[in-house]
A and B are shown apart, each in its own frame.
Chain A
Amino acid sequence: MTTDARDVSTVQTPRHALVTKSLTAGLSTSMVLAIVAVMADSAQANPPATTEPAQVADTQPAPSLQGLGARLGPGEIIHLDIPALPEVAQPAGQPAAARPSASGSSTSTRKARSTTARKTAKRTTAPKKAPAPKPATSKQSG
């Protein structure tokens, strides 16, 4: 995280601007204070890069974790390095949302270890499409 305005300029797309407006509009005073506290701590722990733009590249988030610029006071530009709001869900019959990014560490976090017992089934129907799935169930997950 950094307060470097250069970073902010890289994320001030219309979408982020919209998100920023939405977030700041919904924030309570305590939340704004919390954000400022986070930024203050961050600035102390991680002073702005003193070298080249490569430092920015080092901190470049994964595609799904884009930075979020927020302007919280007159002349005060703060870079919140948190995920932007994602694309919304798509109902059936509407154009597909963007394919999930290759972000995350799913491959790098894999370790060789035995897995627990798993049940497997395969259903195929001719001529082309896979059979419609049975409904999944969303319930309280805890």
Chain B
Amino acid sequence: MIETLHQSSWRAMGATVEAEFVIPAGSPLGDDLADAAQRLVEDLEARWSRFRPDSELCRLNRAGGTPVQVSQATLELIDAMAAGVVATGGAFDPTLLAPLVGLGYIAPWHPEMRTEMGAAEAVPRGGLRGTVIHRASSTVTLPANTSIDAGGIGKGRAADLAAELLLRLGATTAMVNLGGDLRIAGQPLPAGWPVNIAHPMHGKPIATLAIGSGGVATSGTTLRRWTATDGSGTGHAVHHLLDPATGRPIRGGRGAVIQATAVAGTAAWAEVFATQAVVRAGDCLDDLDRQGIGAMVVRDAGDVEHNKTWRAFTEGNRA
């Protein structure tokens, strides 16, 4: 059987989406599969965007302690968030939306973004503490004054679901990359699916992985940055990755981790562990090893560290 590599790309969730998949040559299904994947991602964006007032996530955040019926996709997203909070001991925390809004991040990010800080400094809410997920009724209840942001895990989860959809519709191997969070699923390619890791400053590859199957995600403090002006008119350079302990942007400086990449079974899990590695300043690489998670961190001076599991994905593929 002759095979075709079908490649599609489009914009969604504030990022470029790439969907590539292997199907039999001559199959008329390529465009249909790509269309299905695109519709799925767009549907998830409509449900999970914090910038769309009618999204399920916004309804949930406005509910103020009362149950909200949500779709299965959203229920599973909240499930994944809860699992991430537990697995990282709270280093991954999807409830930091209020502090993020306090920094003025109230519209989709763009490179020239400047914001006004809120008058009141919002405090962290403690990582889904007190959240009720009721599967039988498909309802979620967030505690009053708690709001969540799908953020990176939403992109990862969407990449996972899109890749799995492509397989169910007939692709033998699929890769979906949603703005840098990517999932490779199905029959592994003989040499694996090559994945470059972009340098946090100049974007050129600093490592190349060969993935049989799984998810790769990168988190960091150097890309989504902007200037937030406080009440006195003083501008502060801030970024979107907040410390759950303080609700403030993770501090830089000597030894700080400015970027982390994780390799896990899914893109959603990879996003969780990449975030953990930045928040914990890289002090979790051994723990991740014990869980079979590959991880690499880049420190402010450009030093690169990785754990043992990471090496299994880079052998023979060094950039």
Contacts and interface: CB of A to CB of B under 8 A. Distances in A.
Contacts of B186: 96, 99-100
A142 B165 contact: no
B132 A140 contact: no
Contacts of B228: none
A89 B8 contact: no
A77 interface: no
Contact of A129 (B3, B47, B269): B3
Contacts of A100: 160, 163-164, 167, 185-186
Contacts of B22: 130
Contacts of B197: 137-139
SS class, residues of chain A in contact with chain B? loop
A106 B212 contact: no
B5 A1 contact: no
Interface residues of B, number: 127
Interface string A79-102: 011111111111111101101111
B196 A135 contact: yes
Contact of A106 (B15, B40, B136): B40
Contact of A124 (B25, B135, B293): B25
A127 interface: yes
Given A82-B83, A141-B179, A142-B109, A90 B188 contact: yes
A138 B196 contact: yes
Given A85-B269, A128-B3, A34 B126 contact: yes
Interface string B103-138: 000000100000000000000001111111111100
Contacts of B161: 104, 106
Contacts of A61: 79, 135
Interface in A67-81: 68, 80-81
B223 to A, nearest CB: 4
Nearest to B152: A141
Is the interface on chain A under 10, 10 to 19, 20 to 34, or 35 or more residues?
35 or more
A16 to B, nearest CB: 13
A41 B132 contact: yes
Contacts of A93: 188, 190-192, 210, 212
Given A34-B128, A122-B7, A91 B182 contact: no
A123 B25 CA distance: 9
B189 interface: yes
Interface string A112-137: 01011111111110111111111111
A136 B194 contact: yes
B299 interface: no
Contacts of B34: 118, 120
Given A65-B76, A120-B6, A139-B223, A38 B198 contact: no
Given A106-B164, A130-B22, A45 B2 contact: no
Q: Which 3 A-B pairs have the closest CB atoms?
A: A89-B214, A92-B192, A86-B265
Given A88-B214, A121-B8, A132-B191, 20 more contacts: A23-B87, A30-B90, A41-B131, A41-B141, A83-B79, A89-B265, A91-B312, A93-B191, A102-B164, A104-B73, A104-B76, A105-B72, A105-B76, A111-B39, A115-B42, A116-B12, A130-B3, A135-B205, A136-B193, A136-B195
15 contacts: A1-B132, A31-B85, A41-B130, A86-B266, A93-B190, A103-B164, A104-B76, A109-B43, A122-B4, A128-B2, A133-B189, A137-B180, A139-B179, A141-B217, A141-B271
